Chain A
């Protein structure tokens, strides 16, 4: 009943907006301005008009780029509503000009001089210039604002200094060379000073730009601007008539009139919406759902964009036993700290089976932290040893483990104190893929005589156990790098990092190899040459593989789909997988948007 009611309402909206668009088209045509320096994008020439509907797995928490931390907010803000100075092209994974039309880096790698595009306007028609950039960086770097990007903009323990040369030139001064260079500017979206200066001065910046903000109080430099938000249902964005990109024929982008985000929390429900034609694009598909949609052939273009940056792994609790650690767990931690034990587990895992059974072959087995989706940083020298139970048994024998006969007649591994090797593997109960991986690992380890129990758990309590109480034995988890760069996952590899999952936020590195990783990560960050950085990061990968604090398992392909009528659909392996070129998406059939 509920569903039908909602559908009816959308139906009404669809007709209404279609009509409005038809009649208001000439009025909202691009404003004429002679000195605008537009960016010309290559690619198919599209048709103007239409609306694309996509599912979002949760409601964005905010539209404020300064404090946005959750994925849905970032996806909406970075993907469609705001723009940055220098942007990483999601397809080539290289930087390219955005609001800055060109830039220069000084010899010592400390000074970045950015030349801004002339004559640009925010989505409310107000001009954009160097003062907006000064304001933006002042806000991002202000400690009292608690911006989520602040850490990234502090290089060598000092905040980046910003200086305005003239209306179109800005100089950024770094305290230390920064390895990733201009990639730094990707995702740092520029704020409109004319709207946010007042709330900032009043100390209310973090409360402004909620989802309930009236559309006229909001402005951005992205392809779309805020139109309407219906709590719990959808966020409607409309075309930004002042957007600063055009196609090769001089048509101002974006082609679409509207971009609608529907809030659909469940992955299966997203598939149903896509299947029924309610949404036009779908990303983050599981392999099962992908082959389901591929089999149906109902006017969808299903696309396997190759391995992404997600890596899944099994890791052990390598925290030192504390005062509250139970004797049982402390005993197990002794095994986990034995590197040969970890290597043996790695040897026994059938990674090909994981790729085949969990990802239906749409993925890549992993032996290190860098996925094939990131060829620039992948250490190709890392060996890919085939699964070998013999080698695993040898390693266990060397580490002092022996075997007895279990009650069911099979082998049972026991440690040097003749205690059976039994432990639990935590997984997130909402992630069927990882639970499947854990079940396969359980069977693999059973052949070594280890008794593993798979414990699916609600994700928040799982994180709580790993980072707070540290009461767990092993866990299967996955991470997605936000950028294809060596610095992207510093938080995971540095021993002081909060995502250094096996032993997070250490005051001092607990082991020699962790100390070496810390040093190498610092080295690669300070080096300005790619070769030097690559060498350091290759070594980091090698150390990780030698010590196996995480046993890398597999990386899924990025699986996406679109209606065949959507043009310029070129999914990328980086987030946002299908919306990264949203300004170029269009409907091949003119009636594309009237269908709802």
Chain B
């Protein structure tokens, strides 16, 4: 037995293989649950019943759908580009799987003298890896549309990839404030920085009023969301747009583009796109939890040490998945020009401004006095709030059909 282990690279390799296998299988099971949950929640919000036939509470419905899709006729449009047509869904699925590799989903545990991290790869460029996986995902969409050899998929693909790259900028910029305050690109280090209570945050130092009330904050977790909520909002909006979910689901726009870039896809190939999309939702949710909500941190009893962080992680991620579904049930689709307007003219300037705020506030005390710092903080904060929060008529009319009919844009 030992010589086999040595041949493939020692115990570390065995641990890595086991870890990847377990995570991969868990993700697939998670996908089944997420799709089922979405259908049940949506049905509930729309006063329907939802899937309830196959298995307890209809839990096996997704599995049945998956089997159905795999046994569906495997066809390829006449004008399709054979290999690209088959490669596009594979790229979409693989890119989504890879992005999950840098998500820390629990604390470390020691088994038989080997330390096992509950993260597939703790990279010192973790955040960049997350972005890189997302930028590869664009190819799945663009190639699907092009290779189908049909009009609507091409239209959908061009729209979708333009949308994805537009919001990728805002997504990338929204992570920079987090790097500024944590000083690291490693997701594990970012989670570690959010451990403990908000009591110890230096933000309270030097201001007597805040120092005196800081003891009341003993049970408030030290998450980045408190100080970085503008970055979080930008991240969330850009993240939803990246996953092509409502209200940013123009690429799929059932009513205008049939199904966008997926029009000519069916069966198992469609299943891969489907898998990729839901995996993307989970990854973006998990990233939001990791960066802004303390990752797997949470109160835990003394027994079953490693279970609690994992449970906290799943619970927080689940809340975000619920938010995704909630948004889908609530918000109508944005019009394309407004989508681009929001991405290019609001999110990018807002995120740049917020980076400037964070940079100024985090500068060394010796060089800029604290008063200066807080003053700059306040002014720029107000500007950001006015900029982002002001009810722009264009955004309002985007979600109000009546105004759209009036022609008042």
Q: Are A and B part of the same complex?
A: no
Name A residues whose Cβ lies closer than 8 Å to a Cβ of B: none
Name B residues whose Cβ lies closer than 8 Å to a Cβ of A: none
